[in-house]
A and B are shown apart, each in its own frame.
Chain A
Amino acid sequence: MNSDTPSTVPQDTPPRLRLREITKRFPGCLANDAVSLDLAPGEIHALLGENGAGKSTLVKILYGVQGADSGTIEWEGQKVDIPSPSAARALGIGMVFQHFSLFETLSVADNVALAMQRGTGRDPALLAEIEKLSADYGLALDPTRSVHELSVGERQRVEIVRCLMQNPSLIVMDEPTSVLTPSEVEKLFTVLRRLRDEGRTILYISHKLQEIRDLCDRATILRGGKVVASCDPRQETPNSLAALMIGRAFDGPKAGKPVQVGEGVPLLSVQGLSMEADSPFGTSLKNISFTVRAGEVFGIAGVAGNGQNTLLAALSGERTAPRDDWVKFEGHSIGRVGARGRRDMGISFVPEERLGHGSVPDLPLEDNALLSGWGRWGLIRHGLISRGKSRKKTEDVIEAFNVVSTGTGAAARSLSGGNLQKFIIGREIMQDPKLLIAAQPTWGVDAGSAAAIQSALIDLARAGAGVVVVSQDLDELFTIADRVAVIFDGTLSESRPTHATSAEDVGLLMGGLFEATP
């Protein structure tokens, strides 16, 4: 299919980058089908598309991570070959990856040094530069910390700073804001606009359509690996953009739902939970109390790094509480029950990090379903796996949640980010849990699927289960939660019904403006 080259490209300057008829085939799917794209100097260009549309594949090709099967690339008017990321960097292309490409055991500075092809993280000049750049751009970072101690939001900052340190003339950002807080996003946009005004080009991938409208000058839309449209996002609405992406009208997330606060049996109750963080830089929990009733969605808002990880570990049973009666489920003390035991009771868990924590990247979907669902689905008989049944269950999840993949045998790693998230959420919901705990459930998920996931969470609650959603996306919490509490520096605020509070108030609480509850 041909792309109509948008007329907004200034004719006098050659495009900075021109992709011609790029095609990439994976076993069982055509990820990019003759994609053509022009990027001009000094523009912020959005690349839009549903989960699995081929956005990440395309930018990996232009960054030399993967090779295209056919097609040509021109850089500043010259035909070029980009066989490797270092070739891309030599041209002046920088990249912020969707899945973190950081080295966890190394320090932030080491990570930067590696990407910059210079020295090590011990170099004081480099440390000073990192600090200066991160202060300049309002992306707070301590370069000496080791990456594995950082929260997801902080890691994203490292990726962004690492890319900016290389002073690139084309910056590719694959969903950079999915885990940043609203104020961090604002700061990033200021930076990006500054970079654009310096004449740099930014190729920006995001599922947050409102952001695209605020930030981008042009947009190219992919569907099923093909360019289907290109437009000026400022002239569009989020719903019209979403319609272009999915190819039919889009109604937005399911709105209007009964609110049931104050009724229902207490399902989960946490009383005075305190817990040390398991790393010296993690946040410890201080005297956390809340109850979740059957039939409600309970939201926990907060800026990444305020103790969510410790709280999630304590709720999922990955770390047991010092005292059994600090966590109660259906009236029984479960503080010292481990993750398996809690799953058997009907508590399901969707962690924040989908590759590695929520799934085993190299195992097929079927095995990933088995690992979490064998107990509730009865997939094991006399110590033997019932393959037929587990395949069936996996197929059900794929079907019910519209997961785009090559089948039950596809490795988790081979799914696009949003599709993997749909699979993990679906896997947990279809186990019919009494309580579902989900962290950042729609991170990196396209508008259509996000609406589907949010509706599924609401439906689960309305069917009588309890749902806890930990998220920093306030729009999401206000769409689906009945009550919301804020976590800050390891303490949890009183909860408030979402209909009786505003996003602004919660935003203030997220900044720490509340008295610790006794």
Chain B
Amino acid sequence: MDILAPILISIIAASTPLLFAAIGELVVEKSGVLNLGVEGMMLGGAVIAFIISVETGNSALAIVAGAAMGAMMAGLFAVLTLGLLANQVATGLALTLFGIGLSALLGQGYVGTPLTALPKLNIPGLTDIPVLGPVVFGQDVLVYLSFVVTGLVAWFLYRTRAGLVLRSVGENPHAAHAIGFPVIRIRLFAVLFGGAMAGLGGAYLSLSYTPMWAEEMSAGRGWIALALVVFATWRPGRVVLGAYLFGGLTLAQLHLQGMGSSAIPSQFLNMVPYIATIVVLVLISRDATRIRMNAPASIGKVFHPDG
């Protein structure tokens, strides 16, 4: 019993940044845009949140700044791809490289600076319940936020008119334009939201998961988030599942490595979460009609109204 709670807590911690980044990218892709810059935006969010937190000691401000940084970088992507019709794949890759470099530059003076992690919630009575208490009622604010955001996104996409419009834009921008929806503006908002979520994921990394700054500390999570969206067939519920599966497996393989089993080289264990998550998601979403129903048909294609 005593070890269960810490394990669950670490799984949640490992999963939260992925969940943020993936749910944001899901909205972006549902609008028909493919932003491969998630990794870069996470790093941007992580470094800015860390700096603000160190300099002001205000973690709320740090979180907002992280999200804002992600949104700003996404804004840059939007100007290039939606405004100037640049290729989305190339621009997204460039954004990731840009984010890696920029965050390393900004964070130079902060490597090794100590920071106290985001405070965990503590509700007397509830948090004291064994196992369940600390797991459910003892997380920091970003963990709750990640679930609230996921729920809101699912509700937004499938229950609201604005969500229906967003999906229609991703499915057939020409038809959406013909009906009179401002395709470019809708995509812009989706891209900015995706950036803010990637920024939050980054902020969680540097403020809570490992409260410190290290170059490229996102360690490929942005890429995994991208893969999650695809293999979860663009469905919020499956994104949560995928993110937590990945988080759980990451933790499991760390423990395996910690136990010092030398039979399997650590590099192989490192691969396990990536491969297993993808295999599981592929297996549960094999249905071709399902994929076709959920995949945004216009993804990655440049849209110009006169075409």
Please report A residues at the B interface, Cβ cutoff 8 Å. 63-67, 84-89, 95, 97, 100-106, 110, 113-115, 117-122, 146, 148, 279, 413
Contacts and interface: CB of A to CB of B under 8 A. Distances in A.
B255 interface: no
Given A101-B174, A114-B168, A413-B307, A119 B161 contact: yes
A114 B164 contact: yes
A65 B305 CA distance: 8
Interface in B168-201: 168, 171-172, 174-181
A119 B164 CA distance: 9
A121 B175 CA distance: 17
Nearest to B172: A103
User: Interface size for chain B: under 10, 10 to 19, 20 to 34, or 35 or more residues?
Assistant: 20 to 34
Given A114-B164, A279-B289, A103 B171 contact: yes
Interface stretch (B19-27, B76-84, B96-104, B290-298): B290-298
Given A101-B172, A120-B159, A86 B164 contact: no
Given A105-B297, A120-B161, A148-B292, A65 B172 contact: no
B306 interface: yes
A169 to B, nearest CB: 17
B58 interface: no
B179 A113 contact: no
A89 B180 contact: yes
Given A101-B178, A146-B293, A148-B292, A106 B159 contact: no
A125 to B, nearest CB: 14
B113 interface: no
A118 B292 CA distance: 26
Given A113-B161, A413-B307, A105 B289 contact: no
A124 to B, nearest CB: 14
B164 A120 contact: yes
B131 interface: no
A387 to B, nearest CB: 24
A105 B171 contact: yes
B221 interface: no
B235 interface: no
A65 B177 contact: yes
A15 B126 CA distance: 73
Nearest to A114: B168
Kindly list the 4 A-B residue pairs having the minimum CB-CB distance in the complex, ordered from nearest. Answer: A86-B180, A85-B180, A101-B175, A101-B178
Contacts of A148: 292-293
Interface in B253-275: none
A146 B168 CA distance: 13
Given A67-B306, A87-B180, A121-B164, 8 more contacts: A95-B178, A101-B178, A105-B171, A106-B167, A106-B171, A114-B165, A120-B159, A120-B164
A67 B305 CA distance: 10
A64 B160 contact: no
B164 to A, nearest CB: 5
Contacts of A120: 159-161, 164
24 contacts: A63-B178, A65-B177, A86-B180, A97-B178, A100-B175, A101-B174, A101-B175, A101-B178, A102-B172, A103-B168, A103-B176, A104-B297, A105-B293, A105-B294, A113-B164, A114-B179, A115-B179, A120-B161, A121-B164, A122-B159, A146-B293, A148-B293, A279-B289, A413-B307
Contacts of A121: 164
Given A104-B297, A105-B297, A120-B159, A64 B180 contact: yes
A2 B282 CA distance: 63
A106 B178 contact: no
A66 B177 CA distance: 10
A113 B294 CA distance: 19
